[in-house]
Structure formats: structure tokens, C-alpha cells
Structure 1
Amino acid sequence: MKSLPSLPAKSGRQRVATHGTDEKRERILDAAEQLFAAQGYANTTVEQIVQALGVTKPFVYYYFSSKQEIFETLAWRPAVACFTVLDFPDDDSRPAHEKVKTGIEQLIRATIEHYPSSFFPAREPQAFRPDYLVRQRELAEHFYERLCALLEEGRDDGWFDFNETRVTAHAACSVSGFLYSWYKPDGRLNVDEIVPELVKTACRALGLRSTRRKQRSDARS
């Protein structure tokens, strides 16, 4: 499923990406992100984005077709960053439990590093178009399929202790999923301090062992 991420497809008149156009698009996204985070989607208007940038409405509409597209573009970036953390290369020979731990760490880090736009779907799910939500669910399902497969492989190898695979996967990922309800970028711990703490919590939810449990085949050999 390497071709999964796409969306959003709508756009303004600008079709060809150049260094200059990318910079201008990013200016719009940065200004809009701060407004959406501070006052919500419904209370933010294109006029306010325009005023924050000190430009005219045609400037914004040249790059984006609507406020909705701006919002969904902001939310889609962290969704892709988070839900593709387990897309390891085919030649990655690390054991499953190491891949899971790496993926969980990257998931948590991506959620924090894409603040505040990574929190938009949890805070304002009603603001997204149905087709966007369908695509986001597909991306999340892609992630959970890979995670569950790795968890079961790791359990078979003696590294995980759990019963219900899907329940365990969701429980561990709720560590990052509920960050929107309490995380503050100016909190006591910085990113490099808080990520390891949250990884430890997630790994406990996964039942990750500190040492591998011997399998019967190992004991006979």
C-alpha cells in the first residue's frame, strides 16, 4: 500500500510548484494554522487569514480553493506523517518488536512535532468533508493493519505479552491519540524529554518484555 497517501486534491489556480510558490503556500498555511488553533475552524474566515498575511483574497485563492482546503491540507500532513511510520523498507530485517518500538516513537514524535495541526481532527471532526474522513480512516487502517501484524509476529517471537491484538494496538496508540487533550508546547518537558516517557507508557500497554520469553522450540534446541 505504498501508494496510499494522496489527498487533498482540490487547489486554487496555481498548478506548478516552484520554490517561490511553495514559500507563498507555506505562508498561507502557517498563518491559517495559528488562527485555526486559536479560535477554531468555524470562527476563522479567509478574510482573517488575509489580514494576518497582509495580502488580498486573490493571493490566497490563487493557491487554495477554499478555507476548507487549507484546513484539510494542514490536517493531512500530520496524518500521513503519523500513519506511515510503520512503512519500513522491504529489506529492513529488524525483528518485529524493534520495528514496533521505533514506529511508536515516531508516531508520538510526529504528533508532537506537527502541533497544532495534528490535533485538528480530534478537536473538530465535524469540519472535514466526508471523503476526507474516509481517506483518513483508510490511512489509519493501513497503519493498524501493519501494527497488528507486527505485534502478533513479536508475540510469537516471545517479546510481547497481550491477549487481544486490536485492543492492545489501540490502547498503546491512545498515548499519542489523546495528546490533544493535555499537551502544551510550552510545558515543563521538551520534545526530546517527553517522547521517551510516552514511549515507555505505550510499550507497557503493548506488553513489551525487557527480555525475550523462551519459546518451546528454543528450549529443545
Structure 2
Amino acid sequence: MTALSRRAQNRIERTQRILDGALRVFAEAGYSGTTMDAVAAAVGLSKPTLYQYFDSKETLFQAMMLGQRDRMMTVFEHPSEAGMVHDLHAFAWDYADGVMRPEMLSLARLIIGEVQRFPEIGRAYQASGPDRLLAGIIGYVSAQRDAGRLAFEDAELAAQDLWGLILSAPRTQALYRPDAVPGRAELARYILNGLRVFLRAYSTDPARDLEQLEALASARTTGTGT
């Protein structure tokens, strides 16, 4: 490894450390209560060093949200050879593992509490997180329609259906009842049911796809699959 590539790798690792620390701070203090000083202290950096990576709280927040979005969208942006049903199932769990994290739930609760007084916070959260996630889902389902695997007239509505069906109810429960966050078994129940409904509505070969979905869900339950 050359000195240049080592420096580049160190910068990547430090950037990720900053983003992880920023999530913790934003989740504890909310957007309006977070300062660059607090983030710098949380990750063990000086404030000037932090500013070498992110020139404002706004750009740091956007980068943090984009990083969370990218983790959830990996399977859609790099589809597997296993096919559409595998990708949908993997995305559902990547999404669940992302938005149901305690830090992400806490951040969402704080954002909800701040938007009345600071509507720009809601706009920033929506633009850098949910809007970009939806755009990625639209791109994937559109590609599957072009490949003859899905059939629908409105890609945005199909994407919204997929998104809402897999996790809307348990996430809403978790947001407003922190003492009753659904466990893995309950999430699996919602994900499986949501994907069943989606495939019945939009798949061009629902019988085959539902059979594959059941196999994937069973393998995950028994620990023999992802």
C-alpha cells in the first residue's frame, strides 16, 4: 500500500468515524441542539480538524443522512445474481436494520418535535434521507419493470407501496412508543407480509416469486440464509 493510498484510507476511516459520532450527537441533541463543538468532542477531534472534513453543521448532517441511505440502498444499486426477490428481501432487512436502530429512531423523534419551530430542519431531513431513498427505490422498481419482472403504471406509487408495506406500521409504533419497539420476529412478520402483498400486486410471475420469498424467509428464520 502506498503512502498516498494509506492517507486516503485513513481519511475514509476518519470520515466514517465522524459520521458515526455525528449520528449519536444528533440523536441525543436534535438538529438545533447539535453543535460542531459537540461533534468534535464526541469523535475526539479538534474543531479545526472537523472543519477540514465538513465545513458546516448542514453539510455534516446531509452527509450523515446520505451515508445511512447508502447503506440501505446497496442491494438495489448493486443487484445480486440471485434475482429480484432476493434483492427485495435483502433491501427490506437493510432498511429495517437502518431505520429501526435506536439512534435513527431517536433522531426521527427529535426531528418531528423540531419541525414546527424550524421547518427548514424537516426539509433538510426529508431531502437528504427519505427523498433520496425513495428515488433509489423508484430506480430499482423501474429497472425491474423494464426487465419484465414487475408491472405497474406509476413507478413512484409502486415504490411508495413497497416502502410502506414492509415497515410503516412497526416503525410508527417504535417512533411513538419507545417502550414497545418491535423485536426481530415481529419485524420478520411485517417484512414477509409486506413483500407478499407487493409481489401479488406487481409481480409478473407471482406464484414463482412468492415461493422464492417463502424460502428466503424460512432460511433466515432457521439461520441458513440472509
- Same fold, judged at TM 0.5 (above): yes
Where in structure 2 are the equivalents of 1:48-59 lying within 5 Å?
A: 48-59=38-49
Unaligned stretches of 5+ residues in structure 1: 1-15, 157-161, 214-221
- Structure number with greater Rg is 1
Unaligned stretches of 5+ residues in structure 2: 1-5, 113-118, 210-226
Quick one: which amino acid aligns to residue 207 of structure 2?
T
Q: Does 1:126 align with 2:116?
A: no
Tell whether the 8 Å contact from 1:31 to 1:53 is kept in structure 2 after alignment: yes
TM-score (norm 1): 0.60
Partner of 1:108: 92
Deviations 1:168-195 (A, max 9, x none): 44222113466653346994524xx455
Give the direction of change, closer, same or farther, for the CA distance of 1:23–1:53 in structure 2 (3 Å limit).
same
Partner of 1:202: 194
Tell whether the 8 Å contact from 1:50 to 1:56 is kept in structure 2 after alignment: yes
Tell whether the 8 Å contact from 2:76 to 2:136 is kept in structure 1 after alignment: no
Deviations 1:133-186 (A, max 9, x none): 389746633431431453683467xxxxx8976534422211346665334699
Deviations 1:55-87 (A, max 9, x none): 421121122211122211111122223345334
How many pairs align?
184
Higher relative contact order structure (alpha carbons within 8 Å, sequence separation ≥ 6): 1
TM-score (norm 2): 0.59
C-alpha distance in 2 between matches for 1:139 and 1:103: 15
Tell whether the 8 Å contact from 1:104 to 1:199 is kept in structure 2 after alignment: no
Tell whether the 8 Å contact from 1:86 to 1:143 is kept in structure 2 after alignment: yes
Give the direction of change, closer, same or farther, for the CA distance of 1:119–1:108 in structure 2 (3 Å limit).
farther
Give the direction of change, closer, same or farther, for the CA distance of 1:56–1:164 in structure 2 (3 Å limit).
closer
* Identity of matched residues, %: 18
Where in structure 2 are the equivalents of 1:63-212 lying within 5 Å?
A: 63-88=53-78, 92=81, 99=84, 101-114=85-98, 115=101, 116-117=103-104, 123=111, 126-127=120-121, 133=127, 137=131, 140-148=134-142, 150=144, 153-154=148-149, 166-174=156-164, 175-176=166-167, 180-183=171-174, 187=181, 189-190=183-184, 193-208=185-200, 211-212=207-208
Q: Does the residue aligned with 1:40 lie in a helix, a strand or coil?
A: helix
